[in-house]
């Protein structure tokens, strides 16, 4: 019986490093990630490097800025005329690069 | 009456006609009925004794197919109905519901449909009661990323702003939410690498009041100076960057497309951020904060007072956007607490002190949850079982819950008399194998292949037994009762003081169970499966129960898009392959009352009178 339990313990001990990341060893508060055994600490340069294209990564931020810009013109138009116009091309003085002048 | 005795002597800060309107059982003014998001009604006309006499009083077809999520709103004599894409809004006259008072049908770019991950659903409308300056407004989100304000009387569009750009894969399915004079709008698109954000707009002008992101620099996340001060071990500053490698946070997901709750006494609103992108965990080392977090944000400023990350470094798509239900209960030490209870995708029901984020309880909603051994209440950390994690070059098997979660988008209910949460639960597990893929804005960025099937208590051979409904006590952690369902209980629940718990099923029934025992007391076969939550209102002294029908959403994608590959539909096609034997697509509202009494009990109501415009 003792032999068997020793064998089991040994097996578990061997298996443990291969299955280590349990989420409770923290580098700092709120930062408890660890690489799994056999996987890199950093993926950059590894076989798992996602190689993200910075131009792709910036598209969302650009899209939000462009939408906020068009919304600013719509709000300005409604404030100055009292009527709502969605199509910014129909807003007099609309500029793709400049914000409406607020008096 | 629903709020109980206020714990704080501070007068309510909210403006808040909505709070007043919600006290009247004649109205259902927001998702979840009132700011506590309990889906609970004090009405008792329909009760354990009378429910067997519940019959349809009238119905309405929306004229579109696909998933009908959410629930209609009722304010005074009007019911406001929303539909999936193209997101037409209808106002019906409750005195004569055969008459459509107005409809507002937007023109949308059909391309929006191609970047919707999980059917072209929409979760509901919001209502702002108006002030001295301007009349009441109804708010709608559109799949193509717009937030629209409509005049509640005429349906005319008052303003329409761009919130999400479909060209980068960002869409909107969430219901807008009104707090004070702001309308809050979430985001969708983590399956396309969209970095999540929540935005507040001025109800009258559409001007942006604030916007906060789920990942990145602290100033983008909008942290209060004392963010997480009561629980520093949750993590505080700079983690939106430090828990990611390089710029991966820019496409890090964390969208919020679930539900909100709000406490006017402390001006905090609550919601959950979604999963990180991509699903391939190996491509994004780190805890990936602040995806998968429960947020307490100051409504006025948008600043986060606390956040608790439920699933650090997600490996299973346990998008943490689920319902937030507020209650006031005594904790185990007998201390009265203002609480927030949240059944998460990851199979844990979390209860936090909603004033400071303290973790009160974190219980498995079913004992078959295996990715986590337990959640340590002192550290807040989930103790992962490495056997059920996912990683590259490995196919993980028998992980429970699956990516669809043991709980998904359904808006549940809380019975304050019984102190029970009525939870619609999924019972689905999975095999999961990730793969490498590039990020291209506007294209899917998932990177995992899934097989899903019933959990251990279901029938894997026959692909049935995919759902459960349970009554849960958040303090004791005990289930008062639990029942199996053929399919996932996807749409949520509603509880009433009549001792009843109502919910719809994917196989096309509305059911009423005894809130004390879980016994099935009544059901009715609807035209199609249900993925929305029931609601109830009183009109001219009579209690009605209304529910959308129209199957769809993630469980319905196989049926809706006619898919056969079991791994298609992000793995849901296989799990729900039997669904088409029980239902087909539909779309509408069905309204019930005792004996089916209603506006047309007098058949002459609504008849044509020569010379009259109606």
pLDDT in tens, B235-258: 999 999 999 999 999 999 999 999
Tell whether residue B190 is among the known ligand binding residues: yes
CB contact under 8 A, A26 and B208: no
Separation between Cα atoms, residue B261 and residue B263, nearest integer Å? 7
Find the angle CA(B276)-CA(B280)-CA(B285) to the nearest 5 degrees: 70
> Is B309 strand, coil or helix?
strand
What share of chain B in percent tops pLDDT 90? 97
A-chain residues within 8 Å CB-CB of B160? 74, 84, 86
Tell whether residue B228 is among the known ligand binding residues: no
Separation between Cα atoms, residue A42 and residue A33, nearest integer Å? 12
Separation between Cα atoms, residue A13 and residue A15, nearest integer Å? 5
Residue B221, number of CB atoms within 10 A of its CB: 26
Separation between Cα atoms, residue B555 and residue B404, nearest integer Å? 8
Residue A17 has pLDDT above 60, yes or no: no
Burial of B251 (C-beta count, 10 Å sphere; 0-12/13-18/19+): buried
Closest approach of A29 to chain B, Cα-based (Å): 5
Q: Which of left, alpha, beta for B518 (phi over 0: left; psi -120 to 50: alpha)? A: left
> Is B241 strand, coil or helix?
helix
CB contact under 8 A, B438 and A50: yes
Closest partner residue to A68 (CB to CB) among B208, B309, B441 is B208
* The residue to which tokens 């990715």 are assigned: B371
B-chain residues within 8 Å CB-CB of A50? 248, 283-284, 436, 438-439
Nearest CA in chain A to B284: A43
Pairing of strands B493-496, B40-41: parallel
* CB-based contact B32:B259 (threshold 8 Å): yes
The whole-number pLDDT of residue B613 equals: 84
Residues of B annotated as part of the active site: 317
* CB-based contact B381:B406 (threshold 8 Å): no
For chain B, give the mean pLDDT: 96
* The residue to which tokens 């209603």 are assigned: B598
A-chain residues within 8 Å CB-CB of B386? 19-22, 36
CB contact under 8 A, A50 and B283: yes
* CB-based contact B320:B275 (threshold 8 Å): yes
Report how many Cβ contacts below 8 Å link chain A to chain B.
143
Provide Rg for chain A, Cα atoms: 29
| Dihedral sign computed on CA atoms, order B27, B29, B32, B36 | negative
Closest partner residue to A43 (CB to CB) among B242, B283, B287 is B283
Domains (ranges, CATH) in chain B?
Answer: 45-596 (2.140.10.10)
pLDDT (tens digit, 9 = 90+) per residue, B77-87? 999 999 999 99
Q: Which of A24, A26, A30 to mutate to test the interface with B (most CBs of B within 10 A)?
A: A30
A-chain residues within 8 Å CB-CB of B205? 75, 78-79
* CB-based contact B248:B225 (threshold 8 Å): no
* CB-based contact B82:B70 (threshold 8 Å): yes
CB contact under 8 A, A70 and B309: no
Separation between Cα atoms, residue B481 and residue B500, nearest integer Å? 14
The whole-number pLDDT of residue A103 equals: 58
pLDDT (tens digit, 9 = 90+) per residue, B488-524? 999 999 999 999 999 999 999 999 999 999 999 999 9
Domains (ranges, CATH) in chain A?
Answer: 1-51 (4.10.160.10), 52-102 (4.10.160.10)
CA distances from B52 to B46, B121, B499, B511 (A): 9, 32, 13, 11
Q: Is A22 near chain B, with CB under 8 Å?
A: yes
b/e map of B358-368 (b: 16 or more CB within 10 Å)? Answer: bbbbbbbbbeb
Q: Tell me the three-class secondary structure of B419-468, residue by residue.
A: CEEEEEEECEEEEEEECCCCCCCCCCCCCEEEEEEECCCCECCCCECCEE
Taking Cα atoms as reference points, which of B428, B508, B426, B504 lies closest to residue B470?
B426
CB contact under 8 A, A84 and B289: no
The H helix count followed by the E strand count for chain B is 5, 38
Q: Tell me the three-class secondary structure of A30-97, residue by residue.
A: CECCCCCCCCCCCCCCCCCCCCCCHHHHCHHHHHHHHHHHHHHHHHHHHHHHCCCCCCHHHCCCCCCC
A-chain residues within 8 Å CB-CB of B158? 84
| Dihedral sign computed on CA atoms, order B55, B60, B64, B68 | negative
Closest approach of B18 to chain A, Cα-based (Å): 26
Separation between Cα atoms, residue B189 and residue B257, nearest integer Å? 9
* The residue to which tokens 């992980």 are assigned: B399
Tell whether residue B12 is among the known ligand binding residues: no
Question: What is the pTM assigned to this prediction?
Answer: 0.95
The whole-number pLDDT of residue B614 equals: 75
Encoding tokens for residue A58? 């910036």
The whole-number pLDDT of residue B15 equals: 59
Taking Cα atoms as reference points, which of B130, B184, B436, B137 lies closest to residue B300?
B184
CB contact under 8 A, A75 and B376: no
Encoding tokens for residue B454? 């019933």
**Which residues face B433 on adjacent strands?**
B449
Provide Rg for chain B, Cα atoms: 22
Closest partner residue to B159 (CB to CB) among A44, A53, A84 is A84
Closest approach of A39 to chain B, Cα-based (Å): 8
pLDDT (tens digit, 9 = 90+) per residue, B144-187? 999 999 999 999 999 999 999 999 999 999 999 999 999 999 99
Q: Is A83 near chain B, with CB under 8 Å?
A: no
CB contact under 8 A, A74 and B159: yes
Q: Give contacts of A 43-82 with B, CB under 8 A.
A: 43-44, 48, 50-54, 56-61, 63-64, 66-68, 70-71, 74-75, 78-79
Closest approach of B372 to chain A, Cα-based (Å): 9
A-chain residues within 8 Å CB-CB of B197? 64
> Is B474 strand, coil or helix?
coil
Q: DSSP code of B505?
A: -
Residue B8 has pLDDT above 70, yes or no: no
Nearest CA in chain B to A85: B159
Residue B114 has pLDDT above 90, yes or no: yes
pLDDT (tens digit, 9 = 90+) per residue, B31-46? 999 999 999 999 999 9
B-chain residues within 8 Å CB-CB of A19? 386-387
Confidence band, pLDDT 50/70/90 cuts, at residue B7: very low
Taking Cα atoms as reference points, which of B230, B180, B175 lies closest to residue B198?
B175
Closest partner residue to B282 (CB to CB) among A29, A39, A44 is A39
* CB-based contact A17:A34 (threshold 8 Å): no
| Phi, then psi, of B335 in degrees rounded to 5 | -90, 130
Confidence band, pLDDT 50/70/90 cuts, at residue B612: confident
Closest approach of A1 to chain B, Cα-based (Å): 27
CB contact under 8 A, B285 and A41: yes
CB contact under 8 A, A52 and B242: no
CB contact under 8 A, A67 and B165: yes
The whole-number pLDDT of residue A19 equals: 53
* CB-based contact B338:B309 (threshold 8 Å): no
Name every residue whose Cβ is closer than 8 Å to that of residue A55 and which is 6 or more positions away in sequence.
none
* CB-based contact B245:A44 (threshold 8 Å): yes
CB contact under 8 A, B384 and A32: no
Encoding tokens for residue A80? 């100055």
Separation between Cα atoms, residue B390 and residue B408, nearest integer Å? 20
Encoding tokens for residue B610? 């020569």
Confidence band, pLDDT 50/70/90 cuts, at residue A101: confident
* CB-based contact B271:B259 (threshold 8 Å): yes
B-chain residues within 8 Å CB-CB of A82? none
Residue B286 has pLDDT above 80, yes or no: yes
Encoding tokens for residue A51? 């190689």
CB contact under 8 A, B386 and A20: yes
CA distances from B516 to B351, B410, B482, B501, B521 (A): 22, 21, 11, 9, 12
pLDDT (tens digit, 9 = 90+) per residue, B388-432? 999 999 999 999 999 999 999 999 999 999 999 999 999 999 999
Residue A59 has pLDDT above 90, yes or no: yes
Q: Which of B214, B386, B389, B447 to mutate to test the interface with A (most CBs of A within 10 A)?
A: B386
Encoding tokens for residue B215? 């990942």
Taking Cα atoms as reference points, which of B553, B239, B282 lies closest to residue B437?
B282
CB contact under 8 A, B206 and A78: yes
Nearest CA in chain A to B381: A24
The stretch B573-587 carries a mean pLDDT of: 98
Residue B369, number of CB atoms within 10 A of its CB: 22
> Is B607 strand, coil or helix?
coil
Q: Is A41 near chain B, with CB under 8 Å?
A: yes
> Is B506 strand, coil or helix?
coil
């Amino acid at each position: 019986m003792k032999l068997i339990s020793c064998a089991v313990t040994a097996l578990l001990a061997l298996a443990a490093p291969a299955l280590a990341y349990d989420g409770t060893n923290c580098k700092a508060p709120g930062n408890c990630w660890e690489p799994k055994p056999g996987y890199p600490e950093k993926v950059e340069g590894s076989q798992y490097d996602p190689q993200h294209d910075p131009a792709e990564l910036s598209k969302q931020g650009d899209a939000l800025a462009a939408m906020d810009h068009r919304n600013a013109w719509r709000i300005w138009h409604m404030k100055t005329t009292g009527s709502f116009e969605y199509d910014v091309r129909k807003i007099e003085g609309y500029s793709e690069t400049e914000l409406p002048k607020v008096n | 009456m629903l709020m109980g005795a206020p714990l704080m002597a501070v007068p309510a800060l909210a403006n808040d006609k909505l709070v007043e309107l919600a006290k009247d059982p004649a109205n259902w003014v927001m998702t979840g009925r009132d700011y506590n998001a309990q889906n609970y009604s004090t009405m008792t006309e329909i009760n354990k004794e009378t429910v067997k006499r519940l019959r349809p009083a009238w119905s309405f077809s929306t004229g579109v197919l696909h998933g009908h999520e959410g629930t209609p709103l009722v304010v005074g004599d009007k019911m406001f109905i929303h539909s999936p894409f193209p997101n037409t809004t209808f106002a019906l006259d409750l005195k004569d519901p055969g008459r459509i008072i107005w409809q507002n049908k937007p023109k949308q770019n059909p391309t929006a449909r191609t970047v919707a991950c999980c059917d072209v659903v929409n979760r509901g409308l919001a209502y702002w009661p108006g002030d001295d300056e301007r009349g009441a407004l109804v708010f709608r989100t559109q799949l193509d990323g717009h937030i629209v304000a409509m005049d509640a009387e005429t349906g005319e569009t008052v303003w329409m702003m761009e919130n999400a750009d479909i060209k980068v894969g960002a869409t909107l399915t969430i219901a807008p939410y009104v707090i004070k004079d702001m309308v809050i709008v979430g985001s969708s698109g983590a399956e396309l690498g969209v970095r999540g954000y929540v935005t507040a707009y001025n109800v009258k002008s559409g001007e942006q009041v604030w916007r906060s992101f789920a990942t990145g620099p602290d100033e983008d996340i909008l942290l209060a100076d004392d963010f997480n001060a009561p629980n520093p071990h949750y993590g505080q500053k700079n983690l939106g960057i430090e828990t990611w490698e390089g710029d991966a946070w820019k496409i890090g997901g964390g969208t919020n497309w679930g539900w909100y709750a709000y406490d006017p006494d402390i001006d905090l609103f609550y919601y959950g951020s979604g999963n990180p992108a991509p699903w391939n965990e190996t491509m994004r080392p780190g805890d990936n904060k602040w995806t998968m977090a429960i947020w307490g944000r100051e409504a006025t400023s948008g600043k986060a007072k606390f956040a608790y990350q439920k699933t650090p470094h997600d490996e299973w798509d346990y998008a943490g956007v689920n319902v937030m239900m507020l209650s006031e209960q005594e904790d185990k030490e007998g201390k009265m607490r203002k609480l927030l209870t949240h059944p998460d995708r990851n199979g844990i029901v979390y209860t936090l002190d909603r004033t400071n984020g303290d973790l009160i309880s974190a219980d498995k909603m079913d004992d078959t949850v295996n990715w986590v051994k337990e959640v340590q209440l002192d550290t807040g950390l989930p103790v992962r079982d490495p056997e059920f994690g996912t990683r590259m070059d490995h196919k993980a098997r028998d992980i429970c819950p699956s990516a669809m979660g043991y709980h998904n988008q359904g808006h549940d209910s809380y019975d304050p008399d019984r102190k029970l949460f009525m939870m619609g639960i999924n019972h689905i597990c999975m095999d999961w194998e990730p793969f490498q893929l590039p990020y291209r804005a506007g294209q899917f960025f998932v990177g995992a292949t899934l097989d899903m099937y019933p959990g251990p208590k279901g029938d894997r051979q026959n692909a049935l037994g995919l759902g459960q409904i349970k009554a849960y006590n958040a303090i004791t952690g005990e289930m008062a009762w639990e029942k199996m369902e053929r399919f996932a209980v996807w749409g949520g629940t509603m509880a009433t003081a009549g001792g009843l718990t109502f919910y719809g099923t994917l196989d096309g029934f509305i059911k009423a169970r005894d809130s004390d025992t879980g016994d099935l007391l009544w059901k009715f076969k609807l035209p199609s499966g249900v993925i929305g939550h029931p609601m109830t209102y009183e009109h001219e002294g009579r209690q009605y129960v209304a529910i959308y029908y129209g199957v769809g959403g993630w469980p319905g994608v196989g049926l809706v898009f006619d898919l056969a590959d079991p791994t298609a539909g992000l793995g849901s096609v296989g799990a729900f392959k039997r669904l088409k034997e029980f239902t087909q697509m539909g779309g509408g509202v069905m309204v019930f009352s005792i004996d089916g009494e209603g506006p047309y009990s007098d058949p002459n109501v609504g008849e044509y009178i020569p010379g009259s415009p109606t």
